[in-house]
Amino acid sequence: MNTILSAEGLGTLAYIFLVFLLAGTVKGVVGLGLPTVAVGLLGIVMAPREAAALLIIPSLVTNAWQLAAGPGLADLLRRLWPMLAAIVAGTLAGGALLPPGGAAGAGAALGGALMLYAASGLAAFRLDVAPHAERHAGPLVGLATGLITAATGVFVIPAVPYLGGLRLERDALVQALGLAFTASTCALAAALLLAGQWRLHAAGLSLYALAPALLGMWLGQHLRGRIRPALFRRCFFAGLLALGLHLMLAPFIR
């Protein structure tokens, strides 16, 4: 990222643009996937923490868009605040425990997280969370999500399957996902700031990534009515599975 004006840097800019365009399109079609796709593809050319730094502004803005689409924000906050607080605590704790340069196996850990998420999606795995279990399960899920977020920059496991098991209506589920993603993004930004890994150049690139992410969301929303959502989701998860496998194997084949 320090060679941004060189030929190599211009190639990186083009790659970042295309990655966030694709990630935004996926989010526009299925309602999630921007951080997962973006960090996964950026993880091919940079460390997961560097990829996560680029994610901050696009994730915050697109999740604010997603939050505004639902009707019951106050009720969801009252219900989900223990999980959200645990996400923040887990992310900050994980960020403090990880070495400043990132763990040597961070890329493999990112690949493993992507494969786990993709496998659960392809298998149509669905949790069924009983109402009486939420009080204890929510904080545990939030803490695990935060630790994985700090290590990989991906905040879908186990928060997304857990929220899917709460029997929420579709609009409420979309809004709940937006809440969880917003909490994760804010906590990740704080962890990166505390570690000195979200400086001016990273913030500038993150702002640059916002335009293709928003364009991709707009394209995805227009594509939603023209493609079969079930087929698109299968292709999405199959692509994530292949990407995760590549990231896991890359340290051993270089």
Q: Which residue has the tokens 């560097």?
A: 50
The C-alpha atoms of residue 94 and residue 72 are separated, in whole angstroms, by 31
The pLDDT value recorded for residue 7 is 46
For residue range 134-165, list pLDDT tens digits in order: 889 999 999 999 998 888 888 888 898 899 88
Nearest in space to 188 (alpha carbons), one of 90, 83, 62, 91:
91
Q: Residue 43 burial by CB count (10 A; 0-12/13-18/19+): exposed, middle or buried? A: buried
Predicted pLDDT at 145: 94
In angstroms, the first-to-last Cα distance of the chain is: 22
Helices 170-194 and 48-67 sit at what angle, rounded to 10 degrees?
A: 140
Q: Where are the alpha helices (DSSP H) in 153-194?
A: 159-164, 170-194
DSSP letter at 166? Answer: T
Q: What digits encode the pLDDT tens for the residues 165-207?
A: 888 887 788 788 888 989 999 999 999 888 887 777 888 889 9
Q: Where are the domains of the chain?
A: 7-253
What percentage of residues in the chain have a pLDDT greater than 70?
90
pLDDT top residue among 102 and 48:
48
The pLDDT-based confidence of 74 (bands split at 50, 70, 90) is confident
Centroid of chain to Cα 209: 15
